[in-house]
């Protein structure tokens, strides 16, 4: 999270969560990313969100692929499970882990290259399975780790530090996720922690596939004039379509939320996401409306942020495949072995 090792001093008045842990207990190793990289700001938001949700470190699984962004899990929650997979293959590894341990909270951190270039196939299939995970793309429009080549999210006309402008159409992860049936879709900016933290909390709590596309500028290879993923360009074209607050199950929903266009949506565990619509005609529960709003905004050159779509009705991978409630890894071995009689019955069905 930072280059400078901070001493661990525990002030008696330091904020503690329900587990008695401080935010510092959710930190990881010192970051080795470039100073000012947007990815480190996402790490800071993740630490705050996970701390505030009172998640026990050993009940969290941090997943990633390859890239500067995929190094992020090393920098938060030291005590969590973690798997740094092959480039673009984080979704299938997470699917396997979740199939066996459905009781863990899964957070995957990926890059635009890791998800939309080499990993596009896996990205598409993890969405259609509605795997219960929070999937963050730290989107900088380039392959940062391999020195700044255009990725599949690079906009037409954006210019690299050297060489010609990009001519190929970008793949927008948000529109793609809407089309593929994702059930929680949001976009934010690494420089907007106030918006990012509640969106991460909602994504971690949502039961199903939650995509968070975070514009996260690469200060070394894509932060110059002419880049459409720079800090300056993002700040200039950034538009909150909706503001979302995360309300834990036991907190009352304050009256101010009821006014005007506020709309609470209950999540699976009883917590709530409360929307305050900045654009009154925006409906985050209609897939078709979200899609057309997004397309119009792309044409207007706007970067639309906030919780763009939510569906709390569709079941996750386990609901769809009818798995038992108990995590498969915890089912006693004897119960998993069908035995000769049951096996013959199954075989008879195919004769
Ligand atoms: C199979 C394979 N192909 C190519 C590479 C080289 N490679 C490493 S990271 C990377 C792209 C990373 O870009 P992105 O996911 O956007 O992450 P960023 O570094 O920008 O955060 C590539 C092409 C690799 N490690 N493995
Ligand atoms: S190369 Fe870019 S993406 Fe990678 S750490 Fe540096 S600023 Fe971040
Ligand atoms: Mg990238």
Distance of CA 195 from the midpoint of ligand 3 (Å): 21
For position 308, what pLDDT does the model report?
Answer: 94
Ligand 1 center–CA 139 separation, angstroms: 13
Q: Considering the chain, what percentage of its residues have pLDDT values greater than 70?
A: 96
Q: What letters, b where the CB count within 10 A reaches 16 and e where it falls short, cover 194-212? A: ebbbbbbbbbbbbbbbbbb
- Please tell me the residue having the least CA distance from ligand 2 atom 5: 33
> Residue 257's pLDDT is what?
58
Give the C-alpha separation, 271 to 56, whole Å: 18
Q: Categorize the per-residue pLDDT at 3 as very low, low, confident or very high, splitting at 50, 70 and 90.
A: low
278's tokens: 């900045």
How many angstroms separate the CA atoms of 322 and 325, rounded? 9
With bands split at pLDDT 50, 70 and 90, how would you rate the model's confidence at 203?
Answer: very high
Quick one: residue 208, left, alpha or beta (phi over 0 = left, psi -120 to 50 = alpha)? Answer: left
Give the number of the atom of ligand 1 that is nearest the alpha carbon of residue 153. Answer: 16
For residue 109, which ligand has an atom nearest its CA? 1
Q: What is the pTM of this model?
A: 0.94
Three-state SS for 215-253 is ECCCCCCCCCCCCCCCHHHHHHHEEECEEEEEECCCCCC
* Residue 78 pLDDT exceeds 90: yes
Determine the distance separating the centroid of ligand 1 and the alpha carbon of 302, expressed in angstroms.
27
Starting from the edge strand earliest in sequence, which strands make up the sheet with 272-277, in order? Answer: 242-247, 272-277, 262-266
Ligand 1 contact via 137 beta carbon (within 6 Å): no
Q: Of the ranges 6-10, 109-113, 321-325, which one carries the lowest mean pLDDT score? A: 6-10
Determine if ligand 1 sits within 6 Å of the CB of residue 113.
Answer: yes
Residue 9 predicted with pLDDT over 80: no
Q: Ligand 1 within 6 A of 134 CB?
A: no
Specify the range with the lowest mean pLDDT, choosing from 66-75, 147-156, 322-331: 322-331
**Residues 310-350 pLDDT 10s:** 999 999 999 999 998 999 999 988 887 888 998 999 999 99
- Ligand 2 pocket test target in 38, 139, 214, 219 with most atoms within 8 Å of CB: 219
**Burial 252-274, CB ≥16 within 10 A → b, else e:** eeeeebeeeebbebebeeebbbb
- pLDDT for position 259: 52
pLDDT digits (tens, 9 = 90+) for 128-140: 999 999 999 999 9
Give pLDDT, residue 300.
85
- CA 171/CA 288 separation, integer angstroms: 19
pLDDT band at 2 (very low <50, low <70, confident <90, very high): low
- Residue 91 banded pLDDT, cuts 50, 70, 90: very high
The number of the ligand nearest the C-alpha atom of 116 reads 1
pLDDT at 294 over 70: yes
Instruction: Choose between 339 and 181: higher pLDDT.
Output: 181
H/E stretch holding 294: helix 287-299
Q: Residues 6 or more apart from 46 whose CB is under 8 A from it? A: 72, 76, 107, 109, 136, 200
pLDDT in tens, 233-274: 999 999 999 888 999 887 776 655 555 567 788 898 889 888
CA 275 to chain centre: 18
> For atom 6 of ligand 2, which residue has the closest CA?
34
Q: How confident is the model at residue 151 (pLDDT cuts 50, 70, 90)?
A: very high
Predicted local confidence at residue 258, as pLDDT: 57
Question: Which ligand number lies closest to the CA of residue 141?
Answer: 3
Continuous segment of H or E residues that includes residue 214: strand 209-215
As a whole number of angstroms, the distance between CA 17 and CA 2 comes to 22
Q: Where are the beta strands (DSSP E) in 34-154?
A: 60-64, 81-84, 105-111, 133-139, 142-143, 149-150
Alpha carbons 10 and 22: distance in angstroms, whole number: 9
pLDDT tens-digit readout, 212-229 = 999 999 999 999 999 999
Q: How far apart are CA 161 and CA 147, in angstroms?
A: 11
Q: Is the per-residue pLDDT at 160 higher than 80?
A: yes
What distance in angstroms lies between residue 328's CA and the mean position of ligand 3's atoms?
A: 35
- Measure CA of the first residue to CA of the last residue in the chain; give whole Å: 59
> Which ligand has the shortest distance to the CA of 111?
1
């Amino acid at each position: 999270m930072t280059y400078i090792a901070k001493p661990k001093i525990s002030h008696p008045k330091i904020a503690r969560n329900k587990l008695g842990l401080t935010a510092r207990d959710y930190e990881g190793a010192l970051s080795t990313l470039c100073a000012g990289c947007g990815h480190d700001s996402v790490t800071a938001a993740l630490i705050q969100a996970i701390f505030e949700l009172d998640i026990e470190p050993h009940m969290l699984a941090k997943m990633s692929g390859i890239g500067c962004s995929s190094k992020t899990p090393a920098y938060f929650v030291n005590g969590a499970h973690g798997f740094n997979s092959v480039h673009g293959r984080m979704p299938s590894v997470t699917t396997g882990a979740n199939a066996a341990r459905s009781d863990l909270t899964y957070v995957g951190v990926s890059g635009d290259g890791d998800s939309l270039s080499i990993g596009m196939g896996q990205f598409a299939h993890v969405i259609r399975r509605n795997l219960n995970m929070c999937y963050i793309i730290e989107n900088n429009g380039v392959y940062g780790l391999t020195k700044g080549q255009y990725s599949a999210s690079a906009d037409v006309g954006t210019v690299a530090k050297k060489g010609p402008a990009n001519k190929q159409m970008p793949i927008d992860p948000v529109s793609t996720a809407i089309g593929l049936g994702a059930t929680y879709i949001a976009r934010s900016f690494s420089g907007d922690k106030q918006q990012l933290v509640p969106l991460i909390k909602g994504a971690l709590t949502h039961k199903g596939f939650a995509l968070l596309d975070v514009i996260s500028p690469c200060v070394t290879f894509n932060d110059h004039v002419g880049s459409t993923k720079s800090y300056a360009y993002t700040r200039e074209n950034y538009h909150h379509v909706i503001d979302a607050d995360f309300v834990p199950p036991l907190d009352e929903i304050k009256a101010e939320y009821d006014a005007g266009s506020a709309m609470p949506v209950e999540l699976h565990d009883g917590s709530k996401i409360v929307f305050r619509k900045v654009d009154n005609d925006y409906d985050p529960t209609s897939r078709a409306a979200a899609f057309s709003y997004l397309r119009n905004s792309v044409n207007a050159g706007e970067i639309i942020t906030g919780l763009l779509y939510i569906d709390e009705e569709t079941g996750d991978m386990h609901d769809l495949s009818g798995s038992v409630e108990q995590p498969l890894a915890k089912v006693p071995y004897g119960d998993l072995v069908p035995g000769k009689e049951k096996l013959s019955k199954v075989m008879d069905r195919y004769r």
